[in-house]
Amino acid sequence: MRKIREGKTLGTQMVDGKELPIMQPEIYERIYCKNCDNEVDSEEQAIGTCTQCNQPWLTNKAKDIHIKVLEMPIMGSDTGE
């Protein structure tokens, strides 16, 4: 997996009298061959063929996106729980 966007704090927002951070999560991408589950590298992307099973990427390419939240503020509840 490769990171395609860095996580960071974008600012803050007032919610029910509390100042909460607005977070941009980290985003990761995995490009792989659906046929053999081999992860694509830059060389394979350039040639258009999986080096493990020799199938073309055009028909066998898949992407997984993983979003990682770095921090969640403590919100609490109105009932005290």
Mean pLDDT for the stretch of residues 67-78? 68
| Total number of domains in the chain | 1
User: What range does the domain containing 63 cover?
Assistant: 2-67
As separate numbers, helices (DSSP H) first and strands (DSSP E) second, the chain gives 2, 5
81 lies in a domain?
no
Structural domain includes residue 75? no
pLDDT greater than 90 at residue 64: yes
pLDDT of the residue at 76:
59
Per-residue pLDDT tens over the stretch 25-47: 999 999 999 999 989 887 888 88
Six-digit token string for 78:
């109105």
Q: Is the dihedral of CA 73, 77, 80, 81 positive or negative?
A: negative
- Would residue 76 count as lying in a domain? no
* Residue 17 resides in a domain: yes
- In a domain, residue 46? The reply is yes
Rounded to 5 degrees, what angle do the CA atoms 52, 48, 34 make? 50
Q: Is residue 74 part of a domain?
A: no
Q: How confident is the model at residue 77 (pLDDT cuts 50, 70, 90)?
A: low
